[in-house]
Amino acid sequence: METVTRPARPNRIEPKPFLDPETAFYADDTSEPTGMKHDHETLLEYLRKKGTWITVAIVALSSCFIAIAMETPPLYTSYTSIFVQPKNTIVGEASIFPEPSADLLWVLSELASTSFQDHLNEQFDLRTHYGIGANVPNGNLICYEFMNARIRAKQIDKFTVNIVVQDQDPLFAAEIANGAAQYLFQRCLADFRGRQEILIRSYEKLIAQDQANFDTQLSVLSATLDKAQSLRSDGELTDLEIKLTGIMNRVESANAELIGALKLQEIAKTLKDQELAPGIHLVRKAMPDISTEPNMIILQRILGALLIAMVMVFGGFVFWRVRRTQFKENWVSLNTLHGS
């Protein structure tokens, strides 16, 4: 009987793992990959090796920032402080005087309004000052952008607001800050006078009503007195005397209400004629900043440019290192799963 010899079973060919294109090693290789040696080094050591490229990047960015800083003229800062009196919040407490028309929210919203910007632009001709010609497209919008960047409202506490102005001319910056505060006071005073005018008209209606009531009570009193005179001889004045007493009390009350309304109207007229708006006043007048030298401002900009460049370069480097490490770890995990 012949013996059938089976051919030898070929060895099973295991699938070859993926090749990492960045580090050039196989996932099942136990040797340390060349591209991941830096993962075991400290950050300072790697910075020492790559210090030349980092220095070049910092110098390049700093040069750009410094060139921009040198071309931009120095700006001087001036500010004025405004105190806003809080409104009465005590429940049940009433006053014949109206509440201050200004509050902190009103001040901040007014300083951010286009009417405020239009007033300053008209008063100081800021469009020409900023070098925006009449034929420049969207010149008003560009002027508003300049004003938003150089004229700001800064809240100091619950009741104090600073109007901060930056400009190339320190004297002009102080003039703009003081002019902005004066405009705010005039707006507040105009609003207060408008409210006083409404109050005066309401007092006029009240006085007319009180006068009519007084005249009515007085006519009733006169008629009752005439009747009392005719009945005096008959001795029937008891009930009429009681009625006269009530009428006299009503006449006195009507007279008091009329006098009170007249006094309130006089107070409202006096307050309307005042020159200072209630609830808001100037704490600090803007002064020109003539102590800071232009070279010092440029030096501060250069130092700031260096700092910004260093932060950008090191921040980008750290972000790149973290993302690179995460990519390698994910790639190794993928190759390991594929090999198993």
Residues 180 and 298 in one domain: no
- Measure the CA–CA gap between 159 and 84, rounded to whole angstroms: 5
Residues 303 and 202 in one domain: no
Residue 105 is assigned to a structural domain of this protein? yes
- Measure the CA–CA gap between 79 and 247, rounded to whole angstroms: 65
Residue 237 is assigned to a structural domain of this protein? yes
How many degrees, rounded to 5, is the angle at CA 119 between CA 188 and CA 142? 135
- Measure the CA–CA gap between 133 and 126, rounded to whole angstroms: 11
Residues 328 and 277 in one domain: no
Residues 300 and 239 in one domain: no
Residue 307 is assigned to a structural domain of this protein? yes
Task: Locate the DSSP E strands across 132-230.
Answer: 151-155, 160-167
Residues 236 and 166 in one domain: yes
Residues 312 and 236 in one domain: no
Residues 108 and 225 in one domain: yes
Residues 195 and 251 in one domain: yes
The residue among 284, 308, 324 that closes a domain is: 284
Residues 53 and 152 in one domain: no
- Measure the CA–CA gap between 317 and 324, rounded to whole angstroms: 10
- Look at the chain and report how many structural domains it folds into: 2
* Closest C-alpha among 184, 146, 135, 147 to residue 162: 184
Backbone angles phi, psi at 161, to 5 degrees: -130, 135
Quick check: 121 and 183 in contact, CB under 8 A? Answer: no
Q: What distances in angstroms separate CA 162 from CA 30, 92, 120, one per listed residue?
A: 67, 33, 17
What is the residue type of 29? D
Quick check: 126 and 151 in contact, CB under 8 A? Answer: no
pLDDT, mean of each 10-residue run, the chain (340 residues): 53 49 46 46 60 69 69 78 67 44 73 86 85 79 84 84 87 90 85 76 76 75 67 57 66 74 70 63 77 65 74 74 70 63
- Domain range for 43: 38-70+293-332
Q: What is the DSSP letter of 81?
A: E
- Measure the CA–CA gap between 8 and 15, rounded to whole angstroms: 21
Residue 197 is assigned to a structural domain of this protein? yes
Residue 242 is assigned to a structural domain of this protein? yes
What was the pLDDT predicted at 186? 84
Look at the pTM and tell me if it is higher than 0.75.
no
Q: What is the DSSP letter of 3?
A: P
Residues 322 and 252 in one domain: no
What was the pLDDT predicted at 103? 67
What was the pLDDT predicted at 49? 64
Q: What is the CATH number of the domain that holds 142?
A: 3.30.1890
Residue 12 is assigned to a structural domain of this protein? no
Instruction: Name residue, tokens 């400290």.
Output: 42
What was the pLDDT predicted at 143? 84
What was the pLDDT predicted at 293? 61
The residue among 265, 284, 303 that closes a domain is: 284
Residues 125 and 201 in one domain: yes
The DSSP result for 251-302, as a single string, is HHHHHHHHHHHHHHHHHHHHHHT-SS-TTEEEEE------SS-HHHHHHHHH
Residues 57 and 84 in one domain: no
What was the pLDDT predicted at 41? 53
Residue 151 is assigned to a structural domain of this protein? yes
Instruction: Calculate the CA 320 to chain-centre distance.
Output: 37
